[in-house]
Amino acid sequence: MLAGLLPSLAQAETLAVTNAKIYTSTEQGVLTNASVIIEDGKIIQLNPEVVNADTIIDAKGGILTPGFIGAMNSLGLVEVGQEKMTRDTNDKAADMTFDPSLAFNPKSVAIPFARKGGITRNVVAPGGGETIFSGQTIEVTLTGDWDSVVATEQALFVSLGAKHDGSRIIGMQNLINKLEEREKALAKAESKTSDKDDAKEPTKEELIINAVLKGDKPLIAYADRGSDIMQLIKLKQRFKLDLVLLEAADAVTLADELAQANITVVMDAMRSLPESFDSLHNSLDNAGKLSKAGVKVVLATPGDAHGNYALRYSAGNAVANGMTYDDAMAAITSNVADTFNLNAGRIAVGMPADIVLWSGDPFEYSSHIEKMWIGGEEQSTQSRQDELRDRYMTKSSMPQAYTNK
């Protein structure tokens, strides 16, 4: 009987990473010659005076960061962009209930490739359909396990701005009408004195807009032109929305207004040229300008299932063009977590042990991952690209690209 009880009474093994330069992405800032101790997938001690652990890894002065967090891309929904049968990101019939988790593939070859770039979590965004409502985002870890979807129906994603056919007015008007209709319906329901059990059951779409109006669900709005951004600022103030802007090329022209309204901007720091009349203010120094103005910035590679790997290079380029190093680190860790309500993005006691040990500065092209943990479990950084390299470079008596294995 005692032997049977022993497994349940045994303590989980602890892991310590010592002698590291730790970027905490918290108020503690950067800790030098510091240690972190992990147990049961969580950080239980940060920089203790005495290190006691079952396994101790000496970082030898290496850099330890929170796992980076990708955002607003189609990771796990697209395998080959040019092959329609492998694209599950959008559909003509898609509406605001469009749920990426139903098609998310944790075994996608793009996921190990993203891990090589230090990504441990990701906010997957749907591509939507023929209306402005693209669907809702989900949170996933990059373990590759079948249960790697952490949360669904996180934020409502809408796409506004110029149209190839028709006026941008319709999109903005549609959004305003939806918000007004639900606001009136909620107010009517609150004032109604009759038995609430007799009230009509709200539809799923109505529940989504209800959550947006109550501030329980962020509204992610794609818009580039300043006039559209100004309209969205007014909507946030009018309906008290948890509003997040995506891309927002003209945001630099409204930086003070955005900072005052406490609106986060999710952007690609590598947008350097105008792609349309809506994005004439694209520039490599936009991330730095917004951050210095007090706007919370999230750096991302929006839309691209395979671009997450380069997120750290995007952050490095933002630093090269005026963003501070600490702001760039926050823009791919803690700022993402705060914006999308994720329990991640920081090295702190009680947080999930999503951490990455680097050979050097993670924003430098020549640096690589020494070790990576997600939820305290060490992860492989071997990708399909590595396997292809080995296949084509292996010397063999067989024809090129074949091996004896």
Q: Which pLDDT tens digit goes with each residue over 369-384?
A: 999 999 999 999 888 8
Is there a single domain that holds both residue 220 and residue 72?
A: yes
Instruction: Please give the pLDDT value at position 8.
Output: 47
Instruction: Please give the pLDDT value at position 190.
Output: 82
Indicate whether 398 pLDDT > 80.
no
Is there a single domain that holds both residue 220 and residue 306?
A: yes
Is there a single domain that holds both residue 319 and residue 405?
A: no
pLDDT per residue as tens digits for the range 211-247: 999 999 999 999 999 999 999 999 999 999 999 999 9
**Rounded to whole angstroms, how far apart are CA atoms 171 and 285?**
30
Is there a single domain that holds both residue 235 and residue 332?
A: yes
1 belongs to a structural domain:
no
Is there a single domain that holds both residue 337 and residue 377?
A: no
- Domain total for the chain? 2
The residue among 342, 357, 386 that closes a domain is: 342
Q: What is the CATH number of the domain that holds 388?
A: 2.30.40.10
User: β-strands 369-374, 355-358: how paired?
Assistant: antiparallel
Is there a single domain that holds both residue 218 and residue 351?
A: no
Question: Would the CA dihedral through 201, 203, 206, 210 be positive or negative?
Answer: positive
197 belongs to a structural domain:
no
Is there a single domain that holds both residue 219 and residue 130?
A: yes
**Rounded to whole angstroms, how far apart are CA atoms 178 and 209?**
8
Is there a single domain that holds both residue 234 and residue 379?
A: no
Amino acid 238 reads: R
**Rounded to whole angstroms, how far apart are CA atoms 27 and 379?**
28
Is there a single domain that holds both residue 158 and residue 227?
A: yes
201 belongs to a structural domain:
no
Is there a single domain that holds both residue 17 and residue 77?
A: no
pLDDT category at 9 given cuts 50, 70, 90 is: very low
Domain carrying residue 155? 68-165+211-342
Instruction: Please give the pLDDT value at position 12.
Output: 81
Is there a single domain that holds both residue 63 and residue 120?
A: no
| 118, 100 Cβ separation under 8 angstroms | no
Q: What is the CATH number of the domain that holds 141?
A: 3.20.20.140
pLDDT per residue as tens digits for the range 68-123: 999 999 999 999 888 889 999 999 999 999 999 999 999 999 999 999 999 999 99
| C-alpha to C-alpha distances, 279 to 225, 230, 259, 330, nearest whole angstrom | 6, 15, 20, 25
pLDDT per residue as tens digits for the range 316-346: 999 999 999 999 999 999 999 999 999 999 9
15 belongs to a structural domain:
yes
Identity of the highest mean pLDDT range in 7-16, 113-122, 388-397: 113-122
User: In the numeric block, which tokens belong to residue 149?
Assistant: 């979807």
Amino acid 29 reads: G
384 belongs to a structural domain:
yes
Burial class (CB in 10 A: 0-12, 13-18, 19+), 265: buried
* Rounded (5°) CA angle 268-308-163: 45
